[in-house]
Amino acid sequence: MLKSMKRGTALILMIAILCGIAGTALASGNNPWPTREKSGVGIGLAPVMNNKNGKRQAYYGPNSRQYAKAGAYKAASVTNALALFREGDYALVDLYYPATGKACVYFPVKELTNRNIPEEYLTSYSAKTTSEVEVMEGPGYDYHAADVPYLSNTKRLRLARGTWIDVFFEMDGWVFAEFSCEAGMVRAWLPEYQVESN
d(CA 35, CA 169) in angstroms, rounded, equals 6
Which band of pLDDT confidence, cut at 50, 70 and 90, is reported for residue 23?
Answer: very low
The residues that bridge with 191 in the sheet, in sequence order, are: 174
For domain 125-197, give the fold: SH3 type barrels. (2.30.30)
Section 38-45 average pLDDT: 95
d(CA 124, CA 191) in angstroms, rounded, equals 17
Q: What type of residue sits at position 147? A: D
Mean pLDDT of the residues in the chain: 86
How high is the pLDDT of residue 151? 57
Boundaries of every domain in the chain: 41-111, 125-197
- Contact status, residue 143 vs residue 197, Cβ threshold 8 Å: no
What pTM did the predictor assign?
0.82
Section 156-178 average pLDDT: 96
Predicted confidence (pLDDT) per residue in 125-144, tens digit: 999 999 999 999 999 999 99
How high is the pLDDT of residue 164? 97
How high is the pLDDT of residue 30? 81
Q: What type of residue sits at position 104? A: C
How high is the pLDDT of residue 154? 75
d(CA 103, CA 159) in angstroms, rounded, equals 19
How high is the pLDDT of residue 127? 97
